[in-house]
Structure formats: structure tokens, C-alpha cells
Amino acid sequence: MIKNIVFLIVVFLTNIIQCITGFAGTVLAMPFSIMLVGYDVAKPVLNVLGLLASVYVVAACFKHINKKELCKMTGIMLAGMAAGIYLKRYFTGNPSLLYKTLGIIVIVFAVMNAVKFFRNKEDKELPAPVSVILLVISGIVHGMFVCGGPLLVTYASGKLKDKDEFRGTLSAVWILLNGILFATDIHGGYFTAPTVKLTLISVAVLAAALIIGNIISKKLSRKVFLIITYVLMLISGVSLLIK
């Protein structure tokens, strides 16, 4: 019971940060969530929350979606995601390997995005081969842990310059990919009665986080929250490595 309450607090805080910074909600929540409620609960619940949050954004930015980039990103990431879903089978019965793999991924995301942030250089379009590799890896990570967002952001930041185009297109990608993961989670039996109950409560917490995040984003610096995000990502990644 206590762990579920702490999990809901994690969902609340990370989605406030997600609303303010525009990314990293799931990748920040996943390490803490796995330690609190386990992979088999954290993955399906956070996937549903990511799906609903994306629907919320797409509803506001639908006309700005870049359909060409949407098709490219989803097409390549689907191949990577299929590989990720297959690879996660090797972690069954070996939670230590699962924790350490995610810990390394989170630390790499944190360092990569922090360096990019502090260099403060204009985003440039990546070479085609690098773009494809980045999207494939993003798909693999998303298939395994539902947190391929930071790598997709790295790719999209050089392609989608308009704010609404960026938010709308990426959110449309997550609707398609998270929808597929949702179907596989149902088929895999992840949604037991306790998990469904926790998911429904988490949806209410998500709604509150989005409302509060929108209010805070108008009053406080996004830069401060980005720094907090990177620090928390590093802490969560290291905690998984030493678990």
C-alpha cells in the first residue's frame, strides 16, 4: 500500500516536469516505479499514462502534425520496438540485469541531454544514417521500457522547428506506438485487477499533474526544471545500478 502511494507521488511529480519541459516524464518515472511496484506493473501503467497524455497534446496540435515525419518516425521505430519487445524476454527472471540496463540507459540520456542543454547550440539536422540508427535505438528502448522519448527528441529537434509541430508530431508517434504496446500488454496478461485499479487512480493523478504543470510552466523558468530533470535522471540511473 505504501509503495503504491509513493508510486502515485512519483507519477504526479514526473508528469508535472513532463508538462513543463516537454519530455522525460516516463524515463524519469520508470526507474523509481520499477523499484516501487516492479517492472510488470510499472511498464503497463506508465504506458497508459503516456498514451493519454499524448492524446491530450494531439487534440490541441492536430493541425500542426507533420505527416511525412510522422510516417518516417513510426515506420523506423516500429522495427526497433519489435526488437525491444523480443529482447525484454531475456530479462524474465533476472531483475538485476533489467535494473542495470535501464540504469545505464537513463544515465546516458541524462548526460547526453545535459551536454546539449549547456552547450546551448542551435539544433541541426542529423545525417541520414545517424537519424535511422537513432530512431531504431529509440524504438528498441521504447519497446523494452516505454521511455525512448529522449532519443526521439534528439532526432526531432533538428527536423521540427515549430513548437506545435514538434509537440503534435511526437505525441502522434506515441499514440501509435504506445497503442501497440497497450495491446501487447493486454495480450501478455499484464493488466491484472490490482494493476487496472492502480492505472485508474494514476489517470486521475495524471490529470491533476497536467493542470498544475500548465500553471507552473507559465510562472517559473523552464531552464530550472530542465536542470532538476537531468539531476533526477542521474540519481535514478545510479540508484538502479547499485540496487
pLDDT (tens, 9 = 90+) of the chain, 243 residues, equals 899 999 999 999 988 887 777 667 788 888 889 889 998 999 999 999 989 988 888 888 899 999 999 999 999 999 999 999 998 888 777 778 888 888 888 888 888 878 877 777 666 777 889 999 999 999 999 999 888 888 888 888 788 878 788 888 988 999 999 999 999 999 999 999 999 999 999 999 999 998 998 888 777 776 777 788 788 888 888 878 876
Residue type present at position 238: V
Closest of 15, 51, 78, 26 to residue 178, by C-alpha: 51
* Alpha-carbon gap, residue 31 to 237, rounded angstroms: 7
Q: Which residues contact 143 (CB under 8 A, 6 or more apart)?
A: 80, 81, 82, 83, 84, 85, 86, 87, 88, 181
56-80, pLDDT tens digit by residue? 888 888 999 999 999 999 999 999 9
Q: Which residues contact 60 (CB under 8 A, 6 or more apart)?
A: 168
* Alpha-carbon gap, residue 158 to 135, rounded angstroms: 13
Amino acid 22: pLDDT: 66
R_g of the chain, CA atoms, integer Å: 17
Residue type present at position 230: Y
Closest of 133, 138, 145, 134 to residue 100, by C-alpha: 145
Amino acid 203: pLDDT: 96
Amino acid 43: pLDDT: 93
Exposure b/e, 182-207, CB count within 10 A at least 16 = b: beebeeeebbeeebeebbebbeebbe
Angle at 186 between CA 184 and CA 189, to 5 degrees: 105
Amino acid 243: pLDDT: 62
* Chain-centroid distance, C-alpha 35: 17
Amino acid 121: pLDDT: 64
Domain map of the chain by residue range?
2-241
- What pTM was computed for the model? 0.84
